[in-house]
Chains A and B, each alone.
Chain A
């Protein structure tokens, strides 16, 4: 029998077994070790039966003070650390940092490097969405899609390994361009991947998208209106699922995004299924961008000439890019030295997580997984 020791939690008296006195509600901790939180996210949930009454995310379990670490690293060195924030789109993180440094240095990037960067970004985006697709299906209890998604993702990581030298944390972007030129096999293998991807994407629809159980789990769940999406600062597929135009690639084009044709995917329902469809359709758009660029990589340098020691002029520099999860902002304050005075990352996951309570209160515990899955949270990105 449990003891009747009283502990104080959130100013409400609870017993050890977590039942709140007199309300029939109980507090339950989802995480920091839980299969559905994909990392060390800690959600304190107040449940009434199966219904969620209150949800409170507790952060900080994987806070590694990346911003502070960056202050002691030079402008060449700090880029690699940012791979460890949102490790699924590490390329795009590095890209954002490189762009900010280049903005400070007023460097002109060779066209070849620009195209290579965009190609790599889009490949990373597809890889990230593939992983999300598998992981989200697993949250809903279907294990098999995970392996199908990883088969395609593996092809991309192989391409990355060949050209960048690593599979996950590539550190391929350097201020002024990319670290080395693309591998001779790169173009052929990317085209092979596109053929494979197009032949397998129907399977995704057969297995998951069209499935009646899946649709019932997703439709009408985790509603987020456009106004709420804006006020919570949601970006990326989460905002676009609610019909908010937020694609940085369209709104503030960087590199060659203004020269390629692609659509900004918008869904208006704002439920989990809309966010799901945004990501699925975004993969097609990424393939479209890659197809336009892969045969048109201009000749020339892959890296601009830079000094051995980079010094940013005194001032503040901010750039934003569209990662697989939304808008990533990099803000550098420079005092004119070789290291940044202050760095701040505006990470998409943090803002998207803040909307979670609004989306799930009043729905069932199972809906929490369906909603959290479509937010595509990467916990190191939230904590940094």
Chain B
């Protein structure tokens, strides 16, 4: 019957619309379900996973010593030429020349946080840090020197 179909059409249409409105209206009266995070305010209790890849840092211990031998494995592994290792020759007390790290240049602006350098490092000298707030007003600040001033290689790392 045409009229019956017409009315049942209207009934089902209105019913489907009301179901939708029930869903949104339900959320409107349940503000407890709001999932917005208030970012700058919640910085203190931001809980980032320890694996989160924010930037590459070099691990220094309390004696200001790192484990980087300057082998350039990370430089070779990097797909974007983010890392540049500058080496120098240290003269050991017994007069032998030894290759050592001079400057670990890290171009944060080129880095895609792919973790390949960390994977490639044979001595676990570098790792990924969780800091993600990288914005600066000057681009040159993104080029970083990762080894701290005056740091030297830890004894026994080959």
Residue numbers of A with Cβ under 8 A of B are: 73, 76-78, 80-81, 144, 151, 154, 161-166, 169, 171, 174, 179-180, 183, 203, 206-208, 210-213, 215, 308
Contact (Cβ within 8 A) A76 B17: no
Nearest CB to that of B73 among chain A residues?
A: A308
**In the complex the two chains form, is A166's CB within 8 Å of B77's CB?**
no
The answer on a CB contact under 8 Å between B52 and A212 is no
**Is B116 in the interface zone, CB < 8 Å from A?**
yes
Given A77-B77, A166-B113: A211 touches B53 (CB 8 Å cut-off):
no
Interchain CB contact under 8 A, A151 and B35: yes
B22 and A162 form a contact (CB under 8 A):
no
Q: Name 9 interchain pairs, CB-CB below 8 A, sorted by A.
A: A76-B77, A77-B78, A81-B79, A162-B49, A162-B51, A165-B52, A166-B52, A210-B20, A211-B19
Q: Which residues of B contact A179 (CB under 8 A)?
A: 115, 119
Considering only residues 89-130 of chain B, those with a C-beta below 8 Å from chain A are 112-116, 119-120, 128
B19, A206: Cβ atoms closer than 8 Å: yes
A183 and B49: CB pair below 8 A? yes
Q: How far is the CB of A81 from chain B (nearest CB, A)?
A: 7
Instruction: Name the distance in Å between B141's Cβ and chain A's nearest Cβ.
Output: 23
In the assembled complex, B13 has its CB within 8 A of some CB on chain A: yes
* A161-B52, A165-B52 given; 11 more Cβ-contact pairs under 8 Å: A77-B79, A77-B116, A144-B24, A151-B35, A163-B51, A166-B53, A207-B20, A211-B17, A212-B12, A212-B16, A212-B17
Report chain A residues within 8 Å CB of B77.
76-77
Q: How far is the CA of A257 from the CA of B22 in the complex (A)?
A: 40
Q: Is the CB of B116 within 8 A of A80?
A: yes
Report the Cα distance A171→B113, complex, angstroms: 9
| 6 shortest interchain CB distances as A-B pairs | A77-B79, A212-B13, A80-B114, A165-B51, A162-B49, A165-B53
Q: How far is the CB of A215 from chain B (nearest CB, A)?
A: 8
CB contacts under 8 Å to A, within B1-26, are: 12-13, 16-17, 19-20, 22-24
Q: Which residues does chain A contribute within 8 Å of B53, judged by CB atoms? A: 165-166
Q: Residues of A contacting B115 with CB < 8 Å?
A: 165, 171, 179
Nearest CB of chain B from residue A245's CB, rounded to whole Å: 32
Q: Tell me the count of chain B residues lying within 8 A, CB to CB, of chain A.
A: 26
Question: Which B53-110 residues have C-beta < 8 A from chain A?
Answer: 53, 77-79
B58 to chain A, nearest CB (A): 18
| Residues of A with C-beta under 8 A to B23 | 203, 206-207
List chain A residues, Cβ under 8 A from B79.
Answer: 73, 77-78, 80-81
Contact B16 A165 (CB under 8 A): no
Q: Return B12 CB to nearest CB of chain A, in Å.
A: 7
Q: Could you say which residues of chain B place their CB within 8 Å of the CB of A78?
A: 79
Chain A CB count within 10 A is highest, among B48, B112, B120, for: B112
Give bound CA distance, A164 to B114, whole Å.
Answer: 10
A164 CA / B115 CA spacing, docked (Å):
10
CA distance A165 to B56 in the complex (A): 13
Q: What residues of B have a CB within 8 angstroms of the CB of A171 in the complex?
A: 114-116
CB atoms of A206 and B49 under 8 A apart:
no
In the assembled complex, the CB of B26 is this many whole angstroms from the nearest CB of chain A, namely 9
Contact A80 B112 (CB under 8 A): yes
Residue from the list B22, B49, B116 in contact with A161, Cβ < 8 A: B49
Q: CA A154 – CA B13 in complex, angstroms? A: 32
Taken together as a complex, chains A and B put the C-alpha atoms of A166 and B77 apart, in Å, by: 19
Cα-based distance from A65 to B9 in the complex (angstroms): 52
Contacts of B35 in A (CB 8 A): 151, 154
* A207, B24: Cβ atoms closer than 8 Å: yes
A202 to B, closest residue via Cβ: B23
CA distance A63 to B13 in the complex (A): 45
